Amino acid sequence: MAATALQSINLDVDALAWAPAEDFYGPNATFNGERLVQLKILSDRRRDGGGIAWLVPFTPPPGKLIKIVAVARSDEHIWNLKGGRGTKSGALRRGTGSYAMNPTGKPHSAFIGTETEALIVYTGEPDEVVSLDVVEKEDPPA
């Protein structure tokens, strides 16, 4: 049996261009002509039975939140490099340096109220994004 040659992936991430994210996040990844979400695909090994990894910045409009509802089609690993996930009022819940994992099949959501950049790694197919919307912040609980 012949051994398969495995290749490492080495990138200058800063030299990669940001790409539109509408193919993954849907048409609402742009709001009033401004990109709310972009991608830098770091690796895509899905055709070889692997997963996909990307950097993603989220830029919510001033005073509003990006609300994402999704279902994990494979294990999703999220490491917040800047900013992070928040509450419906916009308060930061999981900030810079935090890690989360959504297992395959898990419905989940995120509220993003501050400029955020994350490294997201899927062990197979990326999430099924049910919706991405710009929403108003809610009043914080009393």
Q: Where are the alpha helices (DSSP H) in the chain?
A: 22-25
| pLDDT at site 5 | 65
pLDDT in tens, 3-44: 566 788 898 999 999 999 999 999 999 999 999 999 999 999
Q: Check residues 142 and 102 and name the one with the higher pLDDT.
A: 102
Please state the pTM of the whole predicted model: 0.90
Q: Which domains does the chain have, with CATH numbers?
A: 15-135 (2.60.120.10)
- State residue 141 phi and psi, 5-degree precision: -60, 145
Question: Token pair of 132, please?
Answer: 């991405």
Report the distance separating Cα 13 and Cα 126, nearest Å.
Answer: 20
| pLDDT at site 91 | 87
